[in-house]
A and B are shown apart, each in its own frame.
Chain A
Amino acid sequence: MMLSLLTIITGYWFDIRDLSNLSRKIEELIGDAGGPGWLIFVLSGLLGAIGIVSFVGGVAVINIWVERRVVGRMQSRLGPNRLGPFGLLQPVADAIKLMQKEVLQPATASGLIFTLAPIMFTVPGIWLMAVLPWGRNMTLASLDSGVLFLLAASSLGALAVFMAGYSSNNKYALFGSMRVIAMLVSYEIPIVMALLGVVLFTGTMDLGGIVLFQEKYRVFMVMLQPLPFFIYFISVSAELNRTPADIAEAESEIVGGYHTEYSGMKFGLFYAAELINAVVASAIISTLFLGGWWMYKLDELVPGWMIYIGKIYGVYFLFVWTRGTLPRFRIDQLLAFAWKWMTPMAILNLVLVAAEVLTWQESGWSAGLLLPAYIIINNALAVVTIYGFMTLLAPKFQRFPTRLRFYPTIDVPSLPAVAAADAASAGPRA
């Protein structure tokens, strides 16, 4: 029964295993009606865009609930549970509240930049969705330089954050945006190097091509490239301003960071953009390292895009997990972590990957022989590097630290009042 149903719906537009059938059907209809040839590109582009934008909208609403609920469980709380079943209507109520709030703007803010910043922060995240391969034939824009496009579009966020911080005319907003930019500039390097390892190994920058490489050799990239996976995961969670690295909006230090002065839906856009960017980062990780829509035999039974969304939420859970467990870094620790740990590790990995690819091309040995060897070598390298860096570079654990970590030579001057009190207490005794 099930099989016959599958054979009936295969090849029709309502075959949910491959939504690209829809545009094929439209193409046939246009061909029958004698319409112009370019119409199909416009229509299928529009359909894909509508699909992506509705996915983005759904994600921005649902993930608020997912995140608060999961973090709540991790911290032995209940999380939102009053509105609707399991508190599912809470994000809807939040959204309605945000839309109704008055949009305040400081009198001294520079108006147009202040308004443009949240839009410019949100839009690149939605662009990134366009190049993701959602299924075998389901890529809206299959770019030859897809990985580079990801980097380019995500680098535009730095400018938007700066616009927000500068135009608010508030020193905490400016502090926040300066911190974000310092962090983005630092973590851009390990991210590029980690992705370069994957691109070098697969020999293509097209995201769909990277998935096809993993399908062809029946291996997840995370097995071949464990070190870039860790580097990318850590670096991207820093770029996303998520909690182990959310120094940009560290509430206890600088009020709220770059969006201190934003209220109403403008703040809502910043909040939604952070959730969207987290989902995009999870999607990039699942494409590059976890096989995208391909999953051994499973993608013959389950639609590829469902597997893909499942993987995205699996990685997203990892992000929420780190947020629920780890305390916040200090800014100097975070930057030192990028420059002293992530970057050298990424360079080491890149040298090894280049040597492996060269061996593969020049020796002519079969992939069945080389890939298992590479898996063993790369995992060994990952373990050795991480353990070695931990024992060599990490400061020894001290329950009561006696000096500043990472910067042993900085002499911290004591506050004038403390110095005066010290002098006063030391005076009578001398």
Chain B
Amino acid sequence: MRPAPGRAHDDGEQSLIDDTGIVVAFYILAATTVVCALMVAFVRELIQAVLFLALTFVGVAGIYIVLSADFVAVVQVLIYAGAVAVLMTFAVMLTPAADRRNSETPFWGPALVLSGLVLAVIVFVAYDTSWHLDKGRGAFPATAASLGEAFLKPYVVPFEVASVLLMTAMIGAIVLTKEDEGDSDA
């Protein structure tokens, strides 16, 4: 009936990040995301871990919306919550050893080291970036069109390289899973 509430603040004077509603939404979403991410690691049942992971993806999408990147948020839901989570459930279903218990693993040490390293990299990047907030940015600028322009004009080579990489991965998957003609009757 009326445009979304965010459009009212399209004056460019006050930064949207400081809005009370946005701050509250950010903390709720951040808490949900972090708690769900922790549950992924701690919950015992593998399928439940995958479902918590899907919820984490949705929480991250919510944070993108708070940052007024609606296109990225929708893509996050479409690809991560819609496709990656389903693929992961498939992977869990096809894993013979994974019945319903997420059992003890000898790899917890290396996993801890690796996740610590990833955390260190992210913290370093967060400290290294100069966070200057774009005050003049409106509530929901049309990000899809500018993203498309960026992909097909200045960043066309990385974009195409990524496509070729995905294509290679797809062909590789087909080659790996294709049965040998010789022992197809086995």
Contact = CB atoms under 8 A, between A and B. Distances in A.
B78 A155 contact: yes
Q: How large is the interface on A (under 10, 10 to 19, 20 to 34, 35 or more residues)?
A: 35 or more
Interface in B47-101: 47-48, 51, 54, 70-71, 74-75, 77-78, 81-83, 85-86, 89-90, 93
A41 interface: yes
Contact of A44 (B1, B47, B70, B82): B1
A38 B8 contact: yes
Interface residues of B, number: 30
Contacts of A138: 1
Contacts of A166: 47, 89, 93
A178 B47 CA distance: 14
Contacts of A178: 93
A110 interface: yes
Contacts of A152: 74-75, 77-78, 81-82
Interface stretch (A17-25, A99-107, A386-394): A17-25
B140 A185 contact: no
A292 to B, nearest CB: 16
B1 A148 contact: no
A144 B1 contact: no
Chain B binding surface SS class: helix
Interface in B15-41: none
A82 to B, nearest CB: 40
A144 B138 CA distance: 14
A427 B81 CA distance: 59
Interface string A218-261: 00000000000000000000000000000000000000000000
A110 B51 contact: no
B86 A158 contact: yes
A22 B86 contact: no
B109 interface: no
B3 interface: yes
Interface string A22-41: 11000100000000011011
A162 interface: yes
A62 B8 CA distance: 38
A181 B90 contact: yes
A148 B74 CA distance: 7
B176 interface: no
B143 interface: yes
A353 B86 CA distance: 31
Contact of B74 (A45, A137, A149): A149
A405 B3 CA distance: 52
B1 A47 contact: yes
A333 interface: no
A23 B86 CA distance: 41
Interface string A281-294: 00000000000000
A162 B89 contact: yes
A145 B8 contact: no
A197 interface: no
B104 interface: no
B133 interface: no
B2 A38 contact: no
A148 B2 contact: no
Contact of A155 (B5, B82, B144): B82
Contact of B70 (A19, A145, A153, A411): A145
**Most-contacted residue by chain B among A137, A156, A163 (CB, 10 A):** A156
User: What are the 4 tightest A-B residue pairs by CB atom distance, in nearest-first order?
Assistant: A155-B82, A41-B5, A152-B78, A152-B77
Given A159-B81, A205-B144, 19 more contacts: A23-B2, A47-B1, A140-B1, A142-B4, A143-B74, A144-B70, A144-B140, A144-B144, A145-B144, A152-B77, A152-B81, A156-B77, A156-B81, A159-B86, A159-B89, A178-B93, A181-B89, A188-B83, A411-B185
22 contacts: A23-B2, A41-B5, A110-B45, A110-B47, A139-B1, A141-B4, A142-B3, A144-B144, A145-B74, A145-B144, A148-B74, A151-B78, A152-B74, A152-B75, A152-B81, A155-B82, A156-B77, A159-B81, A159-B85, A181-B86, A181-B89, A411-B185
Interface of B: 1-5, 8, 45, 47-48, 51, 54, 70-71, 74-75, 77-78, 81-83, 85-86, 89-90, 93, 140, 142-144, 185
